[in-house]
Amino acid sequence: MKLFHSPASPFVRKVRVAAKLRGLDARIELVPANPHLSPPELLAANPLSKIPALVRDDGTALIDSLVICEYLDTLGDAPRLIPAAGAARVTALQIHAIADGILDAAVARRGNSQLPQDEARQKFDDRTKAVIARSLGLLEAMPPAPMDITGATIGCALGYLDFRFAHEPWRATYPKLAAWFEGVNKLPAFTETMPVG
């Protein structure tokens, strides 16, 4: 399988963490791709020019990190990262949506920060910063996440905040998340997928 990736993307990192947790990382070839430049190889896999995009062994492509993680759950015999059905699945996907929303807001905030700043962009920054804070507060109030799709996504979200917004420390405000992340961040699935760039 081939995974179109950027080493700084937290969505790619989520897929890589999932692959490592399921023991599938050796089956995936990483293919560098800059979605902002829309390289033809990426567009062939994903006309949206977004990463991650996974090209399966049969040549068909999957897009969106959650869809790719769902597919990885069908391979091998490691414990599933996403419950198959019922209330457990709904709960996991709900928590995943909150953590994924942190990623959406943080990536958008990072992109916005690279542009000339004016009042509208400052309001956008304030809004996305508030989205992140509210979401972290919600996760702080929950029990510690297991190392499934929820833990993988929360870990990637907190790691991205450290990576792109290290000047805005979050640990003192969210001590339960900080304690949980300290342990998670030492797992090979996380140490081996640290963002760069």
pLDDT at 115: 86
Q: Profile the chain (197 residues) by mean pLDDT over runs of 10 residues.
A: 97 98 97 96 97 97 98 95 96 98 97 90 95 98 96 98 97 98 97 93
pLDDT at 157: 98
pLDDT at 19: 98
| Cβ contacts of 125 within 8 Å, gap of 6 or more | 109, 112, 113
CA distance 146 to 91: 12
Q: Is the peptide bond before 52 cis (omega within 30 degrees of 0)?
A: yes
| Cβ contacts of 2 within 8 Å, gap of 6 or more | 28, 29, 30, 31, 54, 55
Which domains are assigned to the chain? 2-72 (3.40.30.10), 86-191 (1.20.1050.10)
